[in-house]
Structure 1
């Protein structure tokens, strides 16, 4: 018998080959899905950062070109003021106007419906985990997204088109801080004719009526409105004589000047 006869050489698969030991530094091969997926780092994340940077620069330019409008200091006693949320919440604001989401069902409109919608949005990546990237190959995800965009667009448009912007502009108008002499004859005339009931005890506006400070109107125009009314103000509210009307209209015309 010769030495070594019948000896077998067996390789152990648990021992990594030299080239396999450095494979952790090699990106995953995505050739099985050509054009449909890519490495998260750095390919996908870099694109996300670039898109986010473009939107951020555009948003900053918009805020510089069109600063946010300011309104007067909030007055809890002014029941005529109609608050308006920012544009990106208008669809929720409009949703709360419908019967099924208002009154005793406010919880449904404020919490249940938005909670289901945003919850579905958060769970979407975990529910639809297919490799397809084309919208036509993902009908459920595409359909739900188009439905959400259509609902948000309609509710936002509906809210903006039905809001009384002119009245809101008057209600929120910043007026000068004017000291009102409540012992004057003109103030007594205004009080006797219920002017302060709607326009406030300092003519600051309220209960659906605009401020009487810095109206930009002449005394004659104010006298005409007091007699004939304007907008929600009916005719015949002023009950005094012509001399009282002249004093009051001149007094209001000079408020804030």
Structure 2
């Protein structure tokens, strides 16, 4: 079953009373955000290629919905070779019409128009991809983000998630628990937010293991790989936070108030 997008919310408080004149404070969750069309979305259409592409083209197309299963193909990877002439076949240009292999530094190429599932498949099965494919920027509420977070790390591929929520009003001690679904979270910037010691403690408690069986070994769930945490100007953070920080085994840099990095 597909997991819903990761959306931070702010509860709305309403002050009411009952027949006994007892004051009641009710909280109502915010309505789900209206659906926005992602830059990579394209309505289904017939192929516009003027040639018959090779078999690898159709294989990659078939893997589009299963980027979290690519690792089952084994350690073998394909070598991406940039075409030497303008008329040579290029698998990236065939899959991504907006990509131009001979563009200087690919400055006119926007990776956000590429389906993140396609990007994840290419990054796993090809080596020596152009530098333009090394980073992908994706909103926290993107529908495919939970699927990407389910991709396991291998000897040749590791998805590193850097999340910037600085000045995000929706990040609180309550909503931070939603970040437990980011299993590859490596760096988090929560500066100038309402996040406090209690919220970091809740996030630390979300670290868990799946139940293993005879066919599958237990796996870590939650942000075990958190290495960098920025908490600059978070007024709800105090010295009691250090007890929770020790729960993240790889955490090595924490920046808090005053804004001086602390090496753990």
Normalising by structure 1, we get a TM-score of 0.25
Larger Rg: 1
Compare the two structures and name the one with the higher helix fraction: 1
Compare the two structures and name the one with the higher strand fraction: 2
